[in-house]
Amino acid sequence: MNIAVIGSGTMGNGIAHVFAQHGFAVALVDISQPALDRALGTIAKNLDRQVTKGTLAETDKTATLGRIRSFTTIAEGVAEAELVVEAATENADLKLQIFRELDQHAPAGALLASNTSSISITKIAAATQRPTQVIGMHFMNPVPVMKLVEVIRGYATSDETTARVMDLSRQLGKTPTEVNDYPGFVANRILMPMINEAIISLFEGVAGVEEIDTVMKLGMAHPMGPLQLADFIGLDVCLAILRVLHEGLGNPKYAPCPLLVNMVMAGRLGAKSGEGFYQYTAGSKNLVVAPTFTK
């Protein structure tokens, strides 16, 4: 089966990795050739890590990389696709534009999936002439490690499309969970208010960064505190999802904390920018609270 992945960032290269590792031919598409080169380098490093851990043979690494081809245009990349997974930036206008192009260039029988973490699948599907074949396929980060795939049915998504995507997810060694198309779906409708409340607690001086994260890690058995997790996800992504929840559900409890809004405006986006609630230094695994939040 031929798979096309649109977007070669963190999620896109992870999705390409798992499909290729499980025997699928993958076309990885991005408008930037340097971004594609970086993505292939990241996939190779992650495969090397699996080889070192003994979970993957060296020959399987070579075979996996051999199944991935890169393209800089959608038309070329999806020409033979049976499933397309869009993993572009969490921006509704961009995704609608991409799906219009996918509908034009992908084979008539191809399924079109979005890795969106919050944007309406029904809205995305309406931009195409094949809404019954459009579905949400929300992988978790890091994709090669996390088992869940949140499968989101749009208003018109067919039973056949859903069944095929559920089965494909299982072929990747994932656990697919079917949910309906409401803002934030399940994962982020529950997760983002928790992260936002942690930021509000910091904003209101209830406790410091380390204290909030420690309470949730040791008291609630979370592997990572909510502020560290927000940094890992990207504060801009958290803000975008909260805005989708706030606008889509019309409930003030989803309004993003002013501190989060200001941090994003200031370019403090978390791990990817080098600073969020914590500071991040290349090669260091030590967590250091950002100076703004130290006592």
Q: What is the pLDDT of residues 67-88, one digit of tens each?
A: 999 999 999 999 999 999 999 9
CA dihedral (112, 115, 120, 123) in degrees, to 10, reads -30
Closest CA to 188 of 218, 217, 230: 230
pLDDT at position 264, please?
98
Kindly state whether residues 97 and 80 are assigned to the same domain.
Answer: yes
Q: Give me the CATH number covering residue 262.
A: 1.10.1040.10
Is 90 known to sit in a ligand binding site?
yes
DSSP state at residue 181? -
219 with 239, same domain: the answer is yes
> What does the pLDDT read at residue 282?
82
Last residue of a domain, one of 180, 198, 231: 180
Range of the domain at 274: 188-293
Give just the sign of the alpha carbon dihedral 168, 14, 124, 231: positive
SS3 134: strand
Please check whether residues 198 and 251 belong to one and the same domain: yes
| CATH code (residue 22) | 3.40.50.720
| Residue 11 annotated as binding site | yes
Q: Is 12 annotated as contributing to ligand binding?
A: yes
Gap between the Cα atoms of 242 and 102, Å rounded: 27
Q: In whole angstroms, how far apart are CA 149 and each of 66, 152, 157, 172, 283?
A: 25, 9, 17, 10, 30
Q: Indicate whether 164 and 218 sit together in one domain.
A: no
Whole-number pLDDT of residue 138 = 98
Tell me the average pLDDT of the chain.
Answer: 96
* Domain stop point among 146, 180, 214: 180
Cβ distance 202 to 225 under 8 Å?
Answer: no
Question: Measuring CA to CA, how many Å separate 165 from each of 28, 93, 111, 141?
Answer: 19, 25, 9, 19
- As for how many domains the chain has, the answer is 2
Task: Specify whether 143 is located in the same domain as 38.
Answer: yes
* Residue numbers annotated as active site: 117, 138, 150, 188
Question: DSSP letter string over 163-175?
Answer: HHHHHHHHHTT-E
User: 163 and 274 share a domain?
Assistant: no
pLDDT of residue 295: 63
Identify the pLDDT of residue 286: 84
Asked if 96 and 125 count as a contact pair (C-beta separation under 8 A), the reply is no
Is 82 assigned a ligand-binding role in the annotation? Answer: no
Do 192 and 246 share a structural domain?
A: yes
Q: Are residues 90 and 157 in the same domain?
A: yes
pLDDT of residue 284: 80
Pair 130, 199 in one domain: no
**Is 140 annotated as belonging to a binding site?**
no
Residues 75 and 115 both lie in one domain:
yes
Residues of the chain where predicted confidence (pLDDT) is lower than 70: 295
Q: Are 28 and 68 in contact (CB under 8 A)?
A: yes
Question: So what's the pLDDT on residue 211?
Answer: 97
Quick one: 52 and 132 in the same domain? yes
Instruction: Among 118, 151, 180, give the residue marking a domain's end.
Output: 180
